[in-house]
Amino acid sequence: MRFVLLGTGTSTGIPCVGCECDTCMSEDIKDKRLRTSLLIQSETTTVIIDTSADFRQQMLRHSVKHIDGIVYTHHHYDHISGFDDVRPFSFFGNNIPANVYLMPETLQNMKQVFSYAFDENVQVGGGLPNAAFTIIDDKSFTIGDIHIQPIPLKHGSLRVNGYRIGNVAYCTDTNHIPEESYELLKDLDILILDALRYTKHPTHFTIEQACIEAKKIQAKKTYFTHIAHQIRHKDCEDILPDYCYLGYDNLEFIID
């Protein structure tokens, strides 16, 4: 199984428009962060978690020509805004719909944001996103040969999903892990975890809080994602404990 961090940045991406801080002006490629998303591939199946605002660029960068499933963590715009760019997969895939897996509230919000894609009376013009939606809850599901276990998380007051695939867990956009979810995070090889910045935030873990969670979960390695421009890669890596690392765009894991 192949896992690729397509983007590790917060909602603005890094560099931020108009900013001249050290991170935004950095020439280190690890400080260039597209919006957060994950690619999962087996020998026969390709799954994307979240279609960010940078979805098109991410698909081109990694030469993704077919998607078996799109899985959403929640409905915030930086995680769904690339939905319209699934259209070309239908153009060149015999008009086969994209299989989308999401919670009911996520679908409800997508119907508002992308109302034209759900309106039967709209003039098609250049085409509409072609998708088949499957509502998920806390139960595991399978796309092709990839088995996915939802992990209930809190993002401020909002319920969001993390996901476990084998011994890899992806938990972006969270500042609270419910007690019952720790059972789903046991015996991990890789944990990918939200860690926004050094200072407190109402809906995201800080670097310090994420390190505490990583120590509690005890994955073999923990990589942070959804990183803001207050974090410069090299400076932060130098102060992290030896079981935590900053994720960066295009970081790849191959897991048996």
The first and second tokens of residue 135, run together, are 């509502």
The per-residue pLDDT for range 136-158, each reduced to its tens digit, is 999 999 999 999 999 999 999 99
Dist CA 171 CA 196 (whole Å): 12
Q: What is the pTM of this model?
A: 0.96
Which stretches of the chain score pLDDT less than 70? 93-94, 123-126
Predicted local confidence at residue 94, as pLDDT: 67
Dist CA 221 CA 205 (whole Å): 17
Domains by residue range for the chain, with CATH = 2-254 (3.60.15.10)
Dist CA 70 CA 171 (whole Å): 16
In Å, how far from its chain's centre is CA 111?
20
Dist CA 223 CA 248 (whole Å): 9
Predicted local confidence at residue 130, as pLDDT: 87
Predicted local confidence at residue 125, as pLDDT: 63
Per-chain mean pLDDT for the chain: 95
